[in-house]
Structure 1
């Protein structure tokens, strides 16, 4: 009797096991893409570093009471690794793109370089984590990148800027890739998401205060567009996308989590079409379909090979 009772639950549990990762990754893509809209709202009213400063500061302060009262007690030894992760993943990553755009690197090219994150994570996973992609995963990742190229081809233009400025978004993307892999490997990455996110946001705010001050000051701009943009960035981009990113990072390999972000540029274009009436094109639709195909192929491929475990087994 017990076997017949439990049997119908097995297909349901298998279905949920397949559905929940998909829902997590879909929510990550939607919220990650929506974060760019907050920047657009606020950038009409304030410099970019001031926006990044107040986004990080308010996020960290709102999370601080929960970080101190919920979860394991924070120790001083937990702080330095989280400062490093915040410096790399938030301050370094975002500053690289902000400085590049400020120096005249075209926004389309900056976005395209940002979408090389999955490839950088895949390349660095072997030396840092002992993981390497299978041929099928490499194929899915490359197909996803081709989809990004197709979708953003219309926005890709080379500008007349110093050659070194093109290295800024590359350094920013590399900074985020390193933060992702180091957090996956470090015991400090096991902190509850709200605690690690709080410490990282406060660390990023302290770092971003200096360029914001040089850019014109650290005082907030008391305009509705700035306030609305910051609230959007705090609630949707920080509490939404970064929390989902870290949750997914604990469940899946870094290569898989970042590969999902190939869908971010086309979804961002859809957001811009809905909210700002920006035109869509067939290239965007085709690029979205190609990237989605690459992500599906990557997700269905066998798990990454663990070089170290294979060596031990041999």
Structure 2
């Protein structure tokens, strides 16, 4: 992995680690579905402004609908799932479940895309999952039905991310005719195809959401803005470029680092405690990254 890609990888992990904290602050005040919709809408608007200032006008032709579908899988469903999980799971736990995405990508790649499994890839993923498991022991939760539902939501999101990483490589990879900027922008519009109907359904089922959103404090809205502009719009620019340059397996190793940042942000901003489990788990994750990212791994 090049130095530029490594910098993108670390920056992406920091942004996505922060996303779980932003959701934890916003969701209790705004609700899960409004938070997810706000995230998708702000990321789309932010990207539109940036691309407009650059004078960029995407010409997609036959790629429009595939990119919209990519947005549903890569953004819309995961945004909603993680917002739902934020109602019952601490931010670190959602980030820990997110770290199982590379393992899911190995399974999906083998079963659906004909990818070969190498010993180094398996060893790195297993070691990374071990590090995540150690982190999970830093603060165990009681397995109530609500917690299990939150875990299921996180698992659904990881499956979506695994599939979308391969689709991204095909649609916006280094040899693709689609520019990364266009792919990111259209995919965020695609996310709204599932999020907006979800919001309308939520408003019908829970009319109290309207006054809840209107009366939400500015702190909650501020976290949605950070979630949409930094942890989504900017993050997906880095992520799509990483997939184009390094491939889906190496790009998805970012999810191993995300829990480390999520824990660090919690410690620095929310006074959440650190423990030896965090240090041991972080060390195992770092070793797994070295195994997966070293030049001999394919």
TM-score (norm 2): 0.84
Match of 1:140 among 108, 121, 124: 124
Match of 2:81 among 96, 105, 124: 96
- Structure 2: which 5+ residue stretches go unaligned? none
CA distance in 2: counterparts of 1:106 and 1:280, whole angstroms: 14
**1:266 pairs with 2:260:** yes
CA distance in 2: counterparts of 1:24 and 1:172, whole angstroms: 22
Q: Which moved more, 1:135-144 or 1:281-290?
A: 135-144
Q: CA deviation at 1:111?
A: 4.2
Structure 1 pair 113/276, CA: closer, same or farther in 2 (3 Å)?
A: closer
The structure with the largest alpha-carbon Rg is 1
Q: CA deviation at 1:248?
A: 0.6
> Which residue pairs with 2:59 in the alignment?
74
Q: Which moved more, 1:67-76 or 1:194-203?
A: 67-76
Match of 1:196 among 173, 180, 183: 183
Can you list the C-alpha shifts for 1:54-101, whole angstroms capped at 9, x where unaligned? Answer: 121122123225546744642342321111111111111232333455
Q: Which moved more, 1:144-153 or 1:75-84?
A: 75-84
**1:182 pairs with 2:167:** yes
Structure 1 pair 41/109, CA: closer, same or farther in 2 (3 Å)?
A: closer
Structure 1 pair 162/261, CA: closer, same or farther in 2 (3 Å)?
A: closer
Preserved contact between residue 108 and residue 156 of structure 1 (Cα < 8 Å): no
> Which residue pairs with 1:14 in the alignment?
none
> Which residue pairs with 1:169 in the alignment?
154
RMSD of aligned Cα (Å): 2.8
**Secondary structure, counterpart of 1:132 in structure 2:** coil
> Which residue pairs with 2:290 in the alignment?
296
Structure 1 pair 190/37, CA: closer, same or farther in 2 (3 Å)?
A: farther
Q: Which moved more, 1:225-234 or 1:281-290?
A: 225-234
CA distance in 2: counterparts of 1:301 and 1:62, whole angstroms: 36
Can you list the C-alpha shifts for 1:23-66, whole angstroms capped at 9, x where unaligned? Answer: 12111211121222221332242112111101211221232255
Q: Which moved more, 1:232-241 or 1:216-225?
A: 216-225
Preserved contact between residue 18 and residue 265 of structure 2 (Cα < 8 Å): yes
Structure 1 pair 26/65, CA: closer, same or farther in 2 (3 Å)?
A: closer
CA distance in 1: counterparts of 2:260 and 2:148, whole angstroms: 28
CA distance in 2: counterparts of 1:183 and 1:282, whole angstroms: 37
CA distance in 1: counterparts of 2:136 and 2:111, whole angstroms: 31
**Secondary structure, counterpart of 1:154 in structure 2:** coil
Q: Which moved more, 1:109-118 or 1:173-182?
A: 109-118
**Secondary structure, counterpart of 1:264 in structure 2:** helix
CA distance in 1: counterparts of 2:89 and 2:13, whole angstroms: 25
TM-score (norm 1): 0.80
- Structure 1: which 5+ residue stretches go unaligned? 1-16, 305-314
CA distance in 2: counterparts of 1:75 and 1:62, whole angstroms: 20
Q: Which moved more, 1:104-113 or 1:242-251?
A: 104-113
Structure 1 pair 211/135, CA: closer, same or farther in 2 (3 Å)?
A: same
Alignment of 1:22-61 (within 5 A): 22-61=6-45
